[in-house]
Amino acid sequence: MPRIALGLAYEGSGWNGWQTQPSRRTFQDVLESALEAFLGQPTTTICAGRTDSGVHALQQVVHLDTGADRREVSWVRGLNAHLPGQIAVQWARPVGADFHARFDARARTYFYILRSAPVRSPMLRGRVGWVHDALDENRMRAAATHLLGEHDFSAFRSSECQAASPVRTLSRLEIERAGEFLVLRFEANAFLHHMVRNLMGVLVAVGRGRRSSEWAAELLARRDRRLAAATFMPDGLYLAHVAYPTHPELPLLTPECALHTHLGWVCPEIAGHP
């Protein structure tokens, strides 16, 4: 049976994340409902990363098996006709039966967009994180150096995390300022449940001057979630890229291009150059 890969973008505010739930208020639920309407039969999907409630995606990747024969453009237009406005298929590609959206992924990249300003902006609600304090990005960068590499991230995983191992390799953690905005880039082989948001909680505490940069290293060593900062808000978190080095046929944008394409309107400087 042919296998199809889809690239999705979605705005996660008010949604219960990716994975199906009884509420049916998840992106997997609405995508599979659209597939049933489009194909005339139930169809299950596998995604690259199960984003949490309120988290957005610039480039989520899913695969599905189907006997239907459709043109790539028909997959895109046909499914989008059945999807709500907060989610849209960006592309579709036939792939080999050995392709797996989750297990073939070698790295995931998330961006967190954080605004530091005295007053919140209602226009950015749900799409950009916000703190009213001034943040020292140099202190945050110093803390980030302790987090890079392969570590046991038990202090940064949710109590509901189902991963067999807390060990992950964080290969990039970059922090750039653009006026009132901080753009944080996280890249790892995989992430634990709430890992990025828990890292954000620690980095923000350091940036506020409430903790030293060495606190990040102490938390890694202690491996105790109870000692770390509270889980930070999901509003500014975006799944930006999933790396498939053995599948160059997938039309994935670079993380920077994806950010520029979907979020250049927030602040032209935050996305760099496409």
For residue 119, the domain's CATH number is: 3.30.70.660
How many H-runs (helices) and E-runs (strands) does the chain carry? 6, 10
Tokens of 118: 């005295």
123: in domain: yes
With the CA atoms of 85, 87, 91 and 96 taken in that order, what torsion angle do they form, in degrees rounded to the nearest 10?
-140
How many Cα neighbours within 13 Å face the side chain of 180?
16
Shared domain for 228 and 132, answered yes or no, is yes
Shared domain for 100 and 114, answered yes or no, is no
251: in domain: no
Q: Which helix (H) or strand (E) holds 172?
A: strand 167-178
Shared domain for 100 and 157, answered yes or no, is no
Q: What pTM does this model have?
A: 0.95
pLDDT score for 264: 81
Q: Quick one: 10 exposed, middle or buried, by C-beta within 10 A (0-12, 13-18, 19+)? A: buried
Q: Quick one: 106 exposed, middle or buried, by C-beta within 10 A (0-12, 13-18, 19+)? A: exposed
270: in domain: no
pLDDT digits (tens, 9 = 90+) for 178-202: 889 999 999 999 999 999 999 999 9
B/e letters for 107-126, b = 16+ CB within 10 Å, e = fewer, are bbbbbbbbbbeeeeeeebeb
pLDDT score for 22: 84
How far from 218 is each of 112, 143, 147, 153, 222, CA to CA, in Å?
23, 11, 10, 12, 6
What CATH number is given to the structural domain containing 78?
3.30.70.580
Query: Where in the sequence numbering do the catalytic residues fall?
Result: 52
- Residue that has been written with the tokens 């634990």 in this structure: 192
Of 250, 249, 238, the closest CA to residue 197 belongs to 238
264: in domain: no
20: in domain: yes
Give the residue numbers spanning the domain of 192. 109-238
Total count of domains within the chain: 2
Per-block mean pLDDT, blocks of 10 residues, the chain (274 long): 94 94 90 97 95 96 94 96 98 96 97 96 94 96 98 94 93 94 96 96 97 97 96 97 95 93 76 49
Shared domain for 133 and 186, answered yes or no, is yes
